[in-house]
Structure 1
Amino acid sequence: MIRINDILDKIYEYNPEGDCDIIDRAYVYSARVHDGQVRLSGEPYLSHPLEVANILADMRLDVESIAAALLHDVIEDTPATREDIEDMFGPGVAHIVSGVTKLSALPFSTKIAQQAESLRKMILAMADDIRVVLIKLADRIHNMRTLKYHRKPEKQAAIAQETLDIYAPIAARLGIFWMKYELEDIAFYYTKRHEYERIKALVNKARHEKEDYIITVNEKLHEKMKEMNLEAEIKGRYKQNYSIYQKMISQNLDFNEVYDVIAFRIILDTVPQCYAAMGAIHSMWKPIYYKIKDYIGNPKPNMYQSIHTTVVGPKGERVEIQIRTQDMDNIAESGIAAHWSYKEGSKIDENTGELFAWIRNLVENQENYNDPDEFLENVRIDLYPDEIYVFTPQGEIKILPKKATPVDFAYRIHTEVGAECTGAKVNGKIVQLSHRLKTGDTIEIITTKGHTPSPDWLNFVKTVKARTKIRGWINAREKERSYSLGREMCEKIFRKRNQNFNALVKSGEIKQVSDAYGFKAVDDLIAHVGFGKITPLQILNKIAPEVEKQEVKETGVLQKQTGKRKNKDSTGIIVKGLHDILVKFSKCCNPLPGDPIIGYITQGQGVTIHRKGCLNIMKMSNERQIEVQWSDEVKESYPASIKIRTDDRSGLLADIASVISKHKSNILNANTETLETGISLFYFTLMVESTDQLRQIMSAIKKVKKVTDVKRVIRND
């Protein structure tokens, strides 16, 4: 079993200034709370956190990470709490240990194969400190190394498959390839033991047969590098068993057809030397051009850099060669961990981070990272900032956009579940439907048969599906209402022109108009009348244009006789092409002549007039909005509210009322309020003919002594 002194010795080598006291205390505490617990191997449980801490020490992590590794199981497996950890070891260690505990609680046992990618993303999204993921990976490495102590083969296979699905790809995503390879190879053994043994035997046989060939290639590469004055380290290695197996399966190859079982690696000092080495190799052996990949000029997202080339080598056999610098080789093995490792006791070169765009995007404040501890403190996992990963009660994962709500989740399950959603529980607690979900939540939807979507949901849903389905339902309902209103409008207008609308529908004449407008059915035409898109007079004019011409002629004669007398019932509003329509003014925004306005067709209650930009009209269906404008001929009075701020003085109210009266406006309502500071607030509702008249009144009130401010009051501004 590894000893704590072995770990401390390693830390002292790469971080002699590190405060190891926290590690000593974490070791003593972990030993005390785990006392009496035993691993399946029969070893004391303490052996596991020691091994995990040792792996992180090999990766040269900071002392806080290694202390957290020694404590990573205590919240989950002992009576210790997060508060205990924070009191004794500080918020940093407590945060990491809590994060590892949270990941351990994910219900992997309920997952299905298709969820593997979602689980990988969830782990990365849930860990706001990358050290949480590194400890989890080190924990899995040691558990895989001791998997033989599980007595049930099916349990071994399940853990191994989970490792292949979840943990090995995460290691690859972070660029830590030594972890990826070890996890894959052990998992391969327990998931497909027969295939593992077969590939291993084939590789061993090839190794014996190709030993002379490897020596020949190695010698020729050394000679060429020497000839080019390139000092290089050259390594020949066999591909990992699992990689060979994957290639055979994916490309349907026999083992003998996998040409790159052996790969050579050339390690140099500088980037220019890498390109020079590639040119030298290509001058010696013919390259296969479509196999050349320049990951130095175009690094992989996980920071990997190298030149890959495949050439036709001695005896006509293909040889794969990777060319990279020493720094690139370190990163190819350690990935993100290489960014904060100490190199022979010296601090990391601050410019190293400039090479890797991906790692820069993980850092909140990337200036001035002179030392790896500072860098590490600020690294945050931010790979999937726009997604959250949540569970159904059965443990199935659903991916939603950030800030999604239970309604989004309900529609993600099924359209019917979304429509009938009346409540939700998140992690067992009832929440509002507008509650924002977060990664790791388990959501249960409460439904009521026959319930329908609420238009208010459009104010908070985030998914396209939820928004589309809710709008679709609203539009369907609006279409029904619009059809009813449209039919009512047509019947009324046609009757006034001595025409029978229903008879014209039965005769097929309305169908001809519908076809002319490009509608599939008469009902669609009628609904568009209700929506305000087409007027009854337009339809009538198509059927009997002589009726409309006669009415225009008669109207002209009547106007001459009456001297253009105003209609007492006029509202001062012209509704696009519609006559005899009931018009009402909204109380939410109190529009005045001069304000830009829009109409909204209501069921059986005519058209309601709103100011453009009114919050209420913005929430309503676009389909029912109609163009309206103020009439130049009609002069009506409309209510308008103002708020006046003053310093208190006697006679002020009388002076303000006098100004309003001089501008020929009546006061409908007046209220006053005096604040503790001595400031008075006056609220008036006036009758005015236009925004111009209101502005004149407000301007005059501002000139009254002690008045400091005058504003128009609109309820939803």
Structure 2
Amino acid sequence: MIRITDILDKVLENHPDVDVDIIDRAYIFSARVHDGQMRLSGEPYLSHPLEVAGILADMKLDSISIAAGLLHDVVEDTHATEAEIGEMFGHDVMHIVSGVTKLSKLPFNSAQAREAESIRKMLLAMADDIRVILIKLADRLHNMRTLQFHRSEAKKKKIARETLDIYAPIAARLGIYWIKNELENSSFRFLNPEAYQDIRDRVDKDREDRENYVETVKLYIHKKLDENKLKAQVNGRYKHFFSIHQKMLSQNLPFEEVYDIIAFRIILDTIPQCYEALGLMHSLWRPIAKKFKDYIGMPKPNMYQSLHTTVIGPFGERIEIQIRTHEMDRVAKSGIAAHWSYKEGKVIDENVSKTFAWVQNLVENQEAFRDPNEFLENVRIDLFPDEVYVFTPQGQIKSLPKGATPVDFAYLIHTEVGAQCVGAKVNGRMVPLKYELQTGEIVEVITSKGHHPSKDWLNFVKTVKARSRIRQWIKTQEKERSVSLGREMCEKAFRKFRLNFNALIKSEEMQKVVEGFGFKQTEDLIANIGYGKITPLQIIRKITPKEVVDDTESLFNKIVAKDRKKKEKGGVVVKGVDDILVRFGKCCQPVPGDPITGYITRGYGVTIHRTTCVNAMKLNPERQIEVEWNQEMNESYPVKIVVRSLDRVGLLADVAANISKSGANILSANTETKDNQTVDSYFTLSVQGTDHLTRVVESLKQVKQVLEVRRLG
């Protein structure tokens, strides 16, 4: 078991000026709260946080990270609280420990291949500090090193599968290949012990021959480099067992034919030397076409740089050679952890969530400085700024856009679930339907049979699916109402001309009329009459001789002229439609002179709004109908105004007198006195139009101590 003194020595070796007091205190606290707890291996539980801290020290992390590593599971496994950690070790340590605890509690019920990518994204999205992920990787690495002590074979396989599907790829994305390789190898050992043992035995069997072979090839390489005065370090290494196994499967090869079980690495001082060494290797042995990769000129997104080439070696066999600088080698081994000594760069890649180029951009400014904490303290992960990952109650992961609500989630599950959604629970508690979901939450939808979507949902849903399904439902409802209204209008209009609408609707003549208007079905034509886009009279004119229509209209107009005058509402003409109920929107109170528009409302005729009315803008444009003021009418209309003035005796009397002088009636009035000695007086006046209203407003502005007069609505 590693000791705290070993960890402190490593930290001081990497960062001689660092204050290790926080690590010491974290060790003492962890030892105290874990006292008496044991691992499955029979060792004291404290061995686990010590090993995790040791791995972090190997990665050359700062003292904050290592202290957090020593404390990473105290909140989950002991009586210690986050508040206690924050008080004793500061906000940064508490924030990291809290992040690791949060990740540990995620209910991953399945790590199927299709879900593994979502889980990886979720882990990275939830860890807003990169150190959370690094501690989680170190924690998993030590757990895999002691996995054999689990008694349940099923449990071992489950943990190994999760490690292979989720944690090893994350280590690869961060460029920490030694952790990736070890996680893959140890997972392989538990998931497929027979294949693991077979490859191990085969590698061991020829080990002596292979070691001799490695030394021979290294001599050839050294000799060629020395001849050209290139000083280099040359290593020969076995590929790890999982990598060999994958190659055997993907290329359907027996073990004997996997050519690059041994790979050679040439490490030099500068980039020009790397390209020179590449040329020398190609002059020494024939390169294989299409087996050359230049990751120096085009680095991988996780900062990995190297030249890769495959050549035909001295005995006719294939050899893989990697050529890189010492700095590239350090980065290749530690990934992003190799850059703890660099200033933070800016994440500028717009497609950061897809390409992971954030890692490269993070170290854009590669100027070494003494304090490694400066870089770490501000490194935050925001890999998926536009996505949230939530769980279903069964543990499945669903990806949604940022700002998505339970209604979006419900429609993602199924259109019917969305339509019948009446409520939602997040992590077991009720939330409003417009609640914005956060990554890691468990969402449960409450449905009610027969419930329908609400138009209000369009104000907050974020997904295209939810928005289109809600609109589709509203449109269907609007169409049903419009068909009903259109049928009603047609029956009434056709009766005036002694025509039977219900009989005519099935005739061939009507089908021609439908096609003439550019529709496929009669129902669409009737719906458009309901919307107010076509009038019943336009249809009658197409199926009845013109003289009959004109005579009937003339006679009918004489009979009902008086009655229509009585019914005429407020001097508005609805274009193309006679004898229809008209009412005015209370929200905007239009008066003659205002630009207006009408909206057909089933059972209420046409509602008139000002064209600038906010409420009218939200209505379905398909229900809109053209209207205009009737210039022949001379009526009064209600309108609301507010008069803001300084408080004084007799103010209200003067305001009322000016309103009367201007020829307007006061329908209602009330006042509010403010703390700053001003008075807001609200009036509903009866005026004949916008010109009349302007005269009233100008008259009121002349009243002494009146500050402002304006129309409301």
**TM-score under structure 1 length normalisation:** 0.89
* Other-structure match for 1:605: 604
* Other-structure match for 2:451: 451
* Other-structure match for 2:260: 260
Asked if structure 2 preserves the Cα contact closer than 8 Å seen for 1:362 and 1:381, the reply is no
Distance 1:10-1:619 versus aligned 2 partners, 3 A rule: same
Structure 2 counterpart of 1:620, one-letter code: L
1:326-370 CA distance string (max 9 Å, x none): 2222222212211215xxxxxx47789999951376699999987
* Other-structure match for 1:333: 333
Structure 2 counterpart of 1:416, one-letter code: E
Provide the rounded CA distance (Å) in 1 between the counterparts of 2:291 and 2:547.
Answer: 80
Distance 1:712-1:266 versus aligned 2 partners, 3 A rule: farther
* Other-structure match for 1:196: 196
Tell me if 1:569 matches 2:568. yes
Distance 1:313-1:493 versus aligned 2 partners, 3 A rule: farther
Distance 1:599-1:287 versus aligned 2 partners, 3 A rule: farther
- The Cα RMSD (Å) is 3.3
Distance 1:643-1:197 versus aligned 2 partners, 3 A rule: same
* Other-structure match for 1:378: 378
Comparing 498-507 and 78-87, the one that deviates more:
498-507
Provide the rounded CA distance (Å) in 1 between the counterparts of 2:140 and 2:644.
Answer: 69
Comparing 448-457 and 204-213, the one that deviates more:
204-213
Q: Secondary structure at the match of 1:123?
A: helix
Comparing 42-51 and 489-498, the one that deviates more:
489-498
Q: Secondary structure at the match of 1:108?
A: coil
1:210-248 CA distance string (max 9 Å, x none): 556545554444455445554433333332221222233
Q: Which structure 1 residue ranges, 4+ long, deviate > 6 Å from structure 2?
A: 349-356, 360-370, 565-568
* Other-structure match for 2:529: 529
* Other-structure match for 1:57: 57
Distance 1:318-1:36 versus aligned 2 partners, 3 A rule: same
Distance 1:277-1:608 versus aligned 2 partners, 3 A rule: farther
* Other-structure match for 2:639: 640
Distance 1:357-1:156 versus aligned 2 partners, 3 A rule: closer
Provide the rounded CA distance (Å) in 1 between the counterparts of 2:626 and 2:364.
Answer: 49
* Other-structure match for 1:669: 668
* Other-structure match for 2:119: 119
Asked if structure 2 preserves the Cα contact closer than 8 Å seen for 1:420 and 1:452, the reply is yes
Asked if structure 1 preserves the Cα contact closer than 8 Å seen for 2:497 and 2:552, the reply is no
Asked if structure 2 preserves the Cα contact closer than 8 Å seen for 1:672 and 1:681, the reply is yes
1:304, distance to aligned residue in structure 2 (A): 2.2
* Other-structure match for 1:305: 305
1:398-423 CA distance string (max 9 Å, x none): 22222222222222222222222222
1:172, distance to aligned residue in structure 2 (A): 1.3
Provide the rounded CA distance (Å) in 2 between the counterparts of 1:531 and 1:155.
Answer: 64
Asked if structure 2 preserves the Cα contact closer than 8 Å seen for 1:602 and 1:608, the reply is yes
Provide the rounded CA distance (Å) in 2 between the counterparts of 1:691 and 1:236.
Answer: 91
* Other-structure match for 1:345: none
Distance 1:3-1:527 versus aligned 2 partners, 3 A rule: same
* Other-structure match for 2:656: 657
5+ residue gaps, structure 2: 350-355
1:681, distance to aligned residue in structure 2 (A): 0.8
5+ residue gaps, structure 1: 342-347
Provide the rounded CA distance (Å) in 2 between the counterparts of 1:274 and 1:699.
Answer: 85
Provide the rounded CA distance (Å) in 1 between the counterparts of 2:84 and 2:346.
Answer: 38
Distance 1:577-1:435 versus aligned 2 partners, 3 A rule: same
Structure 2 counterpart of 1:233, one-letter code: Q
Provide the rounded CA distance (Å) in 2 between the counterparts of 1:127 and 1:237.
Answer: 35
Provide the rounded CA distance (Å) in 2 between the counterparts of 1:419 and 1:265.
Answer: 61
Q: Secondary structure at the match of 2:504?
A: helix
Tell me if 1:78 matches 2:85. no
Provide the rounded CA distance (Å) in 1 between the counterparts of 2:31 and 2:201.
Answer: 43
* Other-structure match for 2:353: none
Tell me if 1:155 matches 2:158. no
Percent of aligned pairs with the same residue? 63
1:44, distance to aligned residue in structure 2 (A): 0.6
Provide the rounded CA distance (Å) in 2 between the counterparts of 1:369 and 1:661.
Answer: 81
Asked if structure 1 preserves the Cα contact closer than 8 Å seen for 2:343 and 2:365, the reply is no
1:491, distance to aligned residue in structure 2 (A): 1.9
Between Structure 1 and Structure 2, how many residues are aligned? Answer: 702
Structure 2 counterpart of 1:334, one-letter code: S
1:120, distance to aligned residue in structure 2 (A): 1.3
Provide the rounded CA distance (Å) in 2 between the counterparts of 1:129 and 1:278.
Answer: 39
Comparing 474-483 and 177-186, the one that deviates more:
474-483
* Other-structure match for 2:438: 438
Provide the rounded CA distance (Å) in 2 between the counterparts of 1:593 and 1:283.
Answer: 93
Provide the rounded CA distance (Å) in 1 between the counterparts of 2:276 and 2:135.
Answer: 40
Provide the rounded CA distance (Å) in 2 between the counterparts of 1:30 and 1:258.
Answer: 47
Q: Secondary structure at the match of 1:379?
A: coil
Structure 2 counterpart of 1:387, one-letter code: E
Q: Secondary structure at the match of 1:670?
A: strand
Distance 1:84-1:485 versus aligned 2 partners, 3 A rule: same
* Other-structure match for 1:12: 12
Asked if structure 2 preserves the Cα contact closer than 8 Å seen for 1:52 and 1:69, the reply is yes
| Residue correspondence of structure 1 range 104-253 to structure 2 within 5 A | 104-109=104-109, 112-204=112-204, 214-215=214-215, 217-226=217-226, 229-253=229-253
Q: Secondary structure at the match of 2:589?
A: coil
Asked if structure 1 preserves the Cα contact closer than 8 Å seen for 2:422 and 2:447, the reply is yes
1:570, distance to aligned residue in structure 2 (A): 5.3
* Other-structure match for 1:583: 582
Distance 1:573-1:237 versus aligned 2 partners, 3 A rule: farther
Asked if structure 1 preserves the Cα contact closer than 8 Å seen for 2:309 and 2:322, the reply is yes
Provide the rounded CA distance (Å) in 1 between the counterparts of 2:370 and 2:547.
Answer: 88
Provide the rounded CA distance (Å) in 1 between the counterparts of 2:699 and 2:599.
Answer: 35
Comparing 501-510 and 268-277, the one that deviates more:
268-277
Q: Secondary structure at the match of 2:486?
A: helix
Provide the rounded CA distance (Å) in 1 between the counterparts of 2:276 and 2:699.
Answer: 84
Structure 2 counterpart of 1:432, one-letter code: P
Distance 1:604-1:251 versus aligned 2 partners, 3 A rule: farther
* Other-structure match for 2:94: 94
| Residue correspondence of structure 1 range 392-411 to structure 2 within 5 A | 392-411=392-411
Asked if structure 2 preserves the Cα contact closer than 8 Å seen for 1:541 and 1:547, the reply is no
Provide the rounded CA distance (Å) in 2 between the counterparts of 1:258 and 1:612.
Answer: 76
1:636, distance to aligned residue in structure 2 (A): 4.8
1:315, distance to aligned residue in structure 2 (A): 5.2
Asked if structure 1 preserves the Cα contact closer than 8 Å seen for 2:239 and 2:263, the reply is yes
Provide the rounded CA distance (Å) in 1 between the counterparts of 2:306 and 2:318.
Answer: 19
Provide the rounded CA distance (Å) in 2 between the counterparts of 1:354 and 1:408.
Answer: 30
Asked if structure 2 preserves the Cα contact closer than 8 Å seen for 1:354 and 1:360, the reply is no
* Other-structure match for 1:344: none
Q: Secondary structure at the match of 1:604?
A: coil
1:248-275 CA distance string (max 9 Å, x none): 3234344444443333333333344444
Comparing 397-406 and 104-113, the one that deviates more:
104-113
Asked if structure 1 preserves the Cα contact closer than 8 Å seen for 2:569 and 2:581, the reply is no
1:186-211 CA distance string (max 9 Å, x none): 00010011111223344445665555
| Residue correspondence of structure 1 range 415-494 to structure 2 within 5 A | 415-494=415-494
Asked if structure 1 preserves the Cα contact closer than 8 Å seen for 2:645 and 2:708, the reply is yes
* Other-structure match for 1:511: 511
1:504-554 CA distance string (max 9 Å, x none): 113232222223344332112212222234332333343336269737996
Structure 2 counterpart of 1:198, one-letter code: D
